[in-house]
Structure 1
Amino acid sequence: MSIIVKLEEKKDFSATERKIADYILDNKEEILHLTIRELAQATYTGTSTVMRLIKKVYDGSFSDFKVDLAFEFHNLQREDQYEQFQIQKQETAFSIINKIAHIQKTAIDYTKSLQDYQQIERVTKLINNATIIYVFTDGINHQIGCEFKYMMARIGKKVEVAKDDFWVALNCLKSGEQPLAIYINHREHNLALLEKIKRNHKVGIKSIAITGYINSTFETCCQEIISIPTGMSYSDLAPVTYTTAIHYILNIIVGCVIATNYSASGQKLNAYTDLSSQ
């Protein structure tokens, strides 16, 4: 029987031991960093009482108890995530509506936590300085690149979704061009994209990567690497996670470009709106 189950069942626990067990279960992250004395202080008990409880659920030292408890918490979290990110048999429209909302909110919250505000400012500067932006994508990310091109066009920024990377490299050798490449990647072994990155780096194209996977090619060839979650590979809904994360990052970039070029972006947007209404 697992440690967690024993703590939840509280078999033959005294009232004080029940309080300690509840504290451990309610403070999963904190408990892993506490000493036995600190746990006793947090629960207003004594070290001997804490150790007596540990002996009822675990055969070993307090340090080993925390290691094995952490392992159980980790596995339990993976099981919970599997339930949350997988379509279950005979799910209703109501449950799927809530599940998708939960996945997208989780993806955005996690993506936000990965971001460095100073990095986003540096990325915005790179984009503002570029005369043309080439977006390199594959698969499902191609459509996201097209949507980014449309959003940037509305504020007067030239973006192309690259199809022929060799032509891009040649075109960027023209005098006066200040190209920027954005690589969107959610696959761990995207060898074709890595080759494009290397080729563009050789001709001096500055680059930004939006990716969940970091390797030497990204680190060597890209000025900035923006991290995103890639989605759980075993989940039916993994694409929801990484496409939500990519959209969120690109929307942030668009927003920052508008903010740093407010007057010019507003004029371009008004002109675009007038043209669209004709």
Structure 2
Amino acid sequence: MLRTKQRTAVVVFLLPPLGLYLLAVVGPILYSLVLSLFEWDGLSDMRFVGLDNYRQMLFSDDIFWTATGHGLVYLAVSLFFQLVVALMLANLLTYISRGRELVKTVYLLPAIVSTVAIALMFRRIYSLEPLGLVNAALGAVGLDVLQRPFLSDLDTVLVAVSAPEGWRFAGLYMLILYAALIAVPKELEEAARLDGASEWRVFTQIRFPYIRPVFLTTAIMAATYSLRGFDIPYLLTNGGPGHASELLTTYMYKTAFTNTDFGYASTLSVFIVLQCIVAVALILGVRRTGRDAS
């Protein structure tokens, strides 16, 4: 009788969020998958084209492959900030005794600031005329030769639009990793220090292995969000100059709402979903390999 009540309670509490998830997430994905098999401008009748959109994407669309490559660079830059820098900050935060709450608040603030405000701020930071923060700093240390309009220079624009995304959520992931680090048993750390282990060995041999599952979960969150990154790059450059900072998300948006080709835009969206699934599978594979090794 008790088990029956427990099962009923689980069903009652799970059905509303599950229904909402199916409606808000799975439904649009399935609709995009169906729409990718059609040619449609949003007004006229839909025309079934089968896999033609996929053939065009894979074999005829150079912009698609350019945007895919840019997406990998965008992902790498974002993960550097959101995983590497965030982990370093989280580890340093465990050694701070005063002002810890202030530091956490300051680093978390970018995650709750408006995307438009962040884009406008970085447009000013990267500016050459008037002199923005980055160019002013380069001039202050005698590196005037490196000064440039970062958002219009073909060599720097991709990294320039990627960095704000990584910076924005570094504080959020820092807090997640910090929460994992303070849960590491202190007895293990103290025993290692008594045996003469350096702080680096304590981190690499005790702390990081202990928080590895949390780190990989954080990596899944950061990777999938970065692969879907759109707002800041679109606001900063709209994929320009030319297609120098084009991402699959900005390309998909312009294909749908500028070129009104919703069928092909849906094909691009399906590929973005597949990218996220592959990224999650790879990270889970790393996690499973680590478990087998231990």
TM-score normalised by L of structure 1: 0.28
More helix by share: 2
Question: In terms of Rg, which structure is larger?
Answer: 1
More strand by share: 1
- Greater relative CO (CA pairs within 8 A, separation 6+): 2
